[in-house]
Amino acid sequence: MATDWQALDRGPVIPGGSSVAYRTGDWRQERPVLDLQRCVHCMLCWLYCPDSAIRVAGGRVVEVDYDHCKGCGVCAAVCPPRASAIRMVPEGSA
C-alpha cells in the first residue's frame, strides 16, 4: 500500500528500490491523460518516463500510474505528433 510522502521524516535515508511504497504523485500541477484510441503503442512514453508511471501489459500501453506520476510531461513530449495520444491537463480538471 502506498504511503503519503509528506508523512516521512525530513532527511531520512530510504533504501533503494523502495519508491513504489510511497505515493509521489500527490504534488503534480498537471497530469497526463492517455487516449488509448489514438495510442500507437510505440512505447516511447514508457521508455522515457523517469518515474516508471506508464503501465504496460502484453506489449501495449494500458494506463498511467497516477500514484507515482509527478506530471513532468515527458510522456506527452515524446508521444509521436501523429498520435498525440497523451495530453497534459491541469490537476483536478476532467
- pLDDT tens, residue by residue, 31-81: 999 999 999 999 999 999 999 999 999 999 999 999 999 999 999 999 998
> Structure pTM?
0.76
Sign of CA dihedral 3, 65, 55, 72: negative
Nearest to 65 by CA among 29, 22, 94: 22
Domain 28-94 architecture:
2-Layer Sandwich (3.30)
| Helices H / strands E in the chain, number of each | 2, 6
